[in-house]
Amino acid sequence: MPRIVCLIPLILLAACRQQPNENSAELPTQAQPPLPQETLQLRGPNGQNILVQAEIADDEPEREAGLMFRTTLVSGTGMLFVFPNAQRLSFWMKNTPLPLDLLFFRQSQHLATVAWAHPFDETPLGPTDPADAVLEVPGGWAAANGVGPGWQLVRP
């Protein structure tokens, strides 16, 4: 009888373990290969124009991997995360060794917020309003180029 009593806690423990969610993808363990690119134009309120060569992450696995594990990002380049619908977005820097500027756009074109993201910081960053696109560029790039709210994103 004591053997059965000892097994009951083990059976209960096994039954209470959280099962993995079938819909959640596991986090990547290495940098994703380069994605297709577009030349994006950022247009300032005073007519300024800046071109950015950006990889396009437009599906869930590409957006989840993002720039994780990348060790370089040249000025004038970045990654554009495109979402099918406007939503409250939140980004973090897990497994990302680069400082980044995160430019959050609403209606895929109006820059609402610029957030500065620190390497490996898991603090969620994002605007309070819904957004449907995020452009990640090297940290400090937006300030160095005078890019901020009021700018627009123009895609080909």
Q: How confident is the model at residue 156 (pLDDT cuts 50, 70, 90)?
A: confident
**Measured between alpha carbons, how far is 82 from 105 in angstroms, rounded to an integer?**
10
Tens of pLDDT, residues 87-144: 999 999 999 999 999 999 999 899 999 999 999 999 999 999 999 999 999 999 999 9
pLDDT of res. 25: 56
Give which of 132, 139, 156, 150 is closest to 43, Cα–Cα. 150
* pLDDT, tens digit, 9 for 90 and up, residues 1-38: 455 444 333 333 333 322 233 444 577 899 999 999 99
The 3-state DSSP class for residue 136 equals strand
The predicted-structure confidence for 44-78, as pLDDT tens digits, reads as follows 999 999 999 999 999 999 999 999 999 999 999 99
Give residue 2's pLDDT: 52
Quickly state the pLDDT bin for 151 (edges 50, 70, 90).
very high
pTM of the model: 0.82
One DSSP character per residue, 47-114 reads S-EEEEEEEEE-SHHHHHHTTTT-----TTEEEEEEEEEEE---B--TT--S-EEEEEEETTTEEEEE
Nearest to 80 by CA among 123, 132, 140, 143: 132
What is the reported pLDDT for 92? 95
